[in-house]
Structure 1
Amino acid sequence: MPSEEELYQDHILDHYEDPFHRGSLPTATHAHQDKNPLCGDVVRIELQLDGDGKIVDAFFDGEGCVISQASASMLLEKLQGKTVDDIKEFSAADMLELYGPRLTPNRQKCCLLSWKVLQSAVHAPVESSDKS
């Protein structure tokens, strides 16, 4: 029987190798990108929000370590169909719990990058000219 750590590692690798909604979203209404200056990881999240603030669709793209990219996939899968209020209530601690394994403080920054980007994306409408 696999250990809990092995199960987490398999789950993380699944999200890294076959991510949820990786790419771009031509119908994005909101988007934000940020970088972890310590390691160079980059995550961009594009959201399509309806008039009620519900996530109709969400995609991410970026480059970096397994932790930063897998956590972005996990986050979007978890929050697909949720509202902006749900996103605001989803804390950094919730993100670390969603990811699973305990991380060192520096690796926590990798995991939390997508969470930070998502928190900013809901406040960053895309200009009409930016969607082309």
Structure 2
Amino acid sequence: MPNEQDIYEEHVLDHYEDPYHRGELATATHADEGKNPLCGDVIQVMLRLDRDGKIEEAWFDGEGCVISQASASMLIEAIEGKTVEEAKEFTANEMLDLFGPQLTPNRQKCCLLSWRVLQSALHAPIDDSADDDDAGPSFGGPSLSEES
């Protein structure tokens, strides 16, 4: 059984306290949002893809526990510059390895939330035909709260 204290390793706290690319990405081409209904964690992932299918820029925003927010920062940093195919091939186990400390199954859901949202955001282009250019990304994609 993992020790709760192990979760708060230095690199985890670094990503929580000083996250990589946290905030809005006004130039996003793809975006989605998801939440963990068990604990209330919420993550939005915004991506700017180039014409060749490369993730030029990746940002996240959200609220939640140290694990959900730190893992989102780690994931966004890891996938930036990768191709869409590379991001799609990035597995849940690789996400857990990226996070580092071993987690209980309930805490794994916190860690994997950003990974799930990334996978859906890759398939959720933002509609450029909207009349209001200042509206920003819409997070109207499928809800992850219905997953078990």
Instruction: Give the helix-richer structure, 1 or 2.
Output: 1
Aligned-residue identity in percent: 67
Could you list the runs of 5+ residues in structure 1 that have no partner in the other structure? none
> What is the aligned-residue RMSD (CA, Å)?
1.6
Q: How many residues align?
A: 128
Separation in 1, partners of 2:47, 2:23: 12
Report the counterpart of residue 97 of structure 1 in structure 2: 97
Structure 1 residues 42-81: aligned runs within 5 Å:
42-81=42-81
Report the counterpart of residue 116 of structure 1 in structure 2: 116
Moved over 3 A (4+): 5-8
Separation in 1, partners of 2:44, 2:16: 15
- The Cα offsets for residues 49-104 of structure 1, whole Å up to 9 and x where unpaired, read as 01111001010000000000000000011111001100111000000000001100
Separation in 1, partners of 2:39, 2:120: 20
Could you list the runs of 5+ residues in structure 2 that have no partner in the other structure? 135-148
Matched, 1:106 2:94: no
**TM-score for both structures, normalised by structure 2:** 0.83
Is the Cα contact below 8 Å between 1:13 and 1:70 reproduced in 2? Answer: yes
